[in-house]
Structure 1
């Protein structure tokens, strides 16, 4: 099974409801990049990468497509057998840019799973469950409205809520955390996500003013060094998200003991293959984590769910996919959807989704022999 053709597609993903608001940025429409790999025996594999604009992380849509342009020509003609060898070939074409390489890694696993007749979860070590818990992200908003949405999402079955804060007066953030707690209590686990938007002083202040509310404090400050200074000064467990830019960053955070858990993004860490490494390191240290991505449609959602199903449930913090915030599906026949706060793990070979290319329009570029 050799790579015959690589097609690159782009598709806009408007935010349902208008704006997705975080501490660092507001987004109204996302620019997703999909790759379609066609092999010489007619099997088609898909990958996707979709940064949340250009400031959430050092990733952006045009950068992903520029990186793909460097990598793709060197992959045409290669055999889909060793994922590690294919990763080496990508590194020989381009240094870094893991978020673009992740799309290829996902597509390679999709192809291999189809060839072997097994789901991607099997290639990642084997599923431990047939459905995984999701969590809902409450955007930065007025305290009362955020609490109302939180209560609705708990009724809809979500076992975990993420409250986005920062980028405004600390008093509003504190009020929001208290209002959500009053609305849902122990009916859902809570994460308070600063998205790097708080100073150390503000993080400590918020921690003290919300001391009686059980939550995990996700990425409150901008740098790992700032987060490190919180150790022993806050009462809530601190999780890292944006700072985990690669495997080395995860190792550093674990070895220095500054993280009590993580919010992991598949594309940020370079794909599913690299995510399995940090998954297993976290298992050794008994550190909980999520399996998410920044944004995207059914392809990246399927990738997140396959990986999530391989994580030991007691250490799993949930999967976040963008389905609640976007309309439609790449594969209407086998969509990745959240029902009762959980997501079914695809059972078909490969990712279990096959986007309809006609829904994406024509490819913006094709690489082939």
Structure 2
């Protein structure tokens, strides 16, 4: 089996509800990049990468497409099932750009599953159940509005809520956490995610003034030095997200005792292959974590669910997918859906989703 053609598609993903706000950015339209890898045996695999705007992280949509343009020609003729050799070829063609390479990696895992007649989660060691938990992310809102939404999402079955904070007076963040805590139902877990926007001073003050409320404080500051400095001055578990950029960063955070858990992004670290390694590092260190991505449609969602299904439930905080903010599925029948706070693990071979590429229009890039 050899790669014969690679097609790259643009997919516009308008945000349902208008705007999704984080501490340092707001987005209303995301442009996802879908990779179609076609083999000479007619087996086709799909990958995807979708940075959530140009300022959330160093990744951005035009960068992903430029990287794929550099990488694509070097992959023609390779066997996509030889994942190690495939990554070696991508690294020889281009340094860095893991988020672009992740789309190729996801497509290769999709092909592996279809070739061997197994789901991706089966190739990763096996699913722990037929569904995985997810969680709902409440964007930066006024305290009363955040509390109202928290009540609604709990009624829909979500057992974990992530509150976006930061980018405003810390007192408003504190009031938002308190208002949401007042409506928190028994069994619902909370996470406060500042997306790097807090100073060490404000992170410490927030934790001190909310010390009676149980929640995870996720990525409050923008550097490892800041996190190390405030680590033992907090009253809440500390999670790493944006700074968990690759396997080495996660390994260091675990071995040094820097954090208590992670919010992992699959494309940020390089795809399913890297996430498998990170999963095992977290297992060795008894670290809880999520398996998410920044944004994207059915392909990224399916990849997150497959990896998440192989994580021990006692350490798994959920697979966040952007489905609540997206209008349409790529695969109307099999696209991952949230029901009562959980997502069914796809049952088809590979990722278990087959996008209708005709809906994407003509490829923006193609290699053969």
Interval of TM-score (by shorter of Structure 1 and Structure 2): over 0.9
> Paired residues, what number?
368
Task: Describe the superposition over 1:182-218 as per-residue Cα deviations: whole angstroms up to 9, x where unpaired.
Answer: 0114341000001000000000000011010000100
Give the match for residue 21 of structure 2. Answer: 21
Give the SS at the match of 2:263. strand
The correspondence of residues 189-204 of structure 1 with structure 2, limited to 5 A, is 189-204=189-204
Give the match for residue 150 of structure 1. Answer: 150
- Contact kept? 1:132, 1:308, Cα under 8 Å: yes
Range 308-317 or range 81-90, more displaced = 81-90
Give the match for residue 232 of structure 1. Answer: 232
- Contact kept? 1:279, 1:311, Cα under 8 Å: yes
The correspondence of residues 112-123 of structure 1 with structure 2, limited to 5 A, is 112-123=112-123
CA RMSD after TM alignment: 0.7
Alpha-carbon shift at residue 319 of structure 1 (Å): 0.8
Give the match for residue 161 of structure 1. Answer: 161
Give the match for residue 72 of structure 1. Answer: 72
Distance in 2 between the 1:196 and 1:306 partners? Answer: 28
Give the match for residue 48 of structure 2. Answer: 48
Give the SS at the match of 2:264. strand
- Contact kept? 2:81, 2:109, Cα under 8 Å: no
Distance in 2 between the 1:190 and 1:333 partners? Answer: 32
Distance in 1 between the 2:11 and 2:80 partners? Answer: 26
Distance in 1 between the 2:96 and 2:122 partners? Answer: 27
Give the SS at the match of 1:30. strand
Distance in 2 between the 1:124 and 1:100 partners? Answer: 22
- Contact kept? 1:156, 1:340, Cα under 8 Å: yes
Q: 2:106 aligned with 1:106, yes or no?
A: yes
- Contact kept? 2:81, 2:111, Cα under 8 Å: no
Give the match for residue 172 of structure 2. Answer: 172
- Contact kept? 1:121, 1:306, Cα under 8 Å: yes
- Normalising by the residue count of structure 1, what TM-score does the alignment of the two structures yield? 0.99
Distance in 2 between the 1:361 and 1:231 partners? Answer: 49
Alpha-carbon shift at residue 80 of structure 1 (Å): 2.5
Give the match for residue 308 of structure 2. Answer: 308
Give the SS at the match of 1:228. helix
- Normalising by the residue count of structure 2, what TM-score does the alignment of the two structures yield? 0.99
- Contact kept? 2:46, 2:106, Cα under 8 Å: yes
Distance in 2 between the 1:232 and 1:262 partners? Answer: 17
- Contact kept? 2:154, 2:185, Cα under 8 Å: no
Q: 2:221 aligned with 1:255, yes or no?
A: no
- Contact kept? 1:33, 1:49, Cα under 8 Å: yes
Distance in 2 between the 1:333 and 1:216 partners? Answer: 35
Give the match for residue 12 of structure 1. Answer: 12
Distance in 2 between the 1:152 and 1:287 partners? Answer: 30
Give the match for residue 139 of structure 1. Answer: 139
Alpha-carbon shift at residue 122 of structure 1 (Å): 1.1
Alpha-carbon shift at residue 257 of structure 1 (Å): 1.0
Give the SS at the match of 2:68. helix
List 4+ stretches of structure 1 deviating above 3 A.
none
Distance in 2 between the 1:147 and 1:12 partners? Answer: 31
- Contact kept? 2:31, 2:50, Cα under 8 Å: yes
Give the SS at the match of 2:80. coil
Alpha-carbon shift at residue 334 of structure 1 (Å): 1.0
Give the match for residue 219 of structure 2. Answer: 219
Give the SS at the match of 1:6. strand
Alpha-carbon shift at residue 254 of structure 1 (Å): 1.3
Give the match for residue 343 of structure 2. Answer: 343
Distance in 2 between the 1:20 and 1:191 partners? Answer: 17
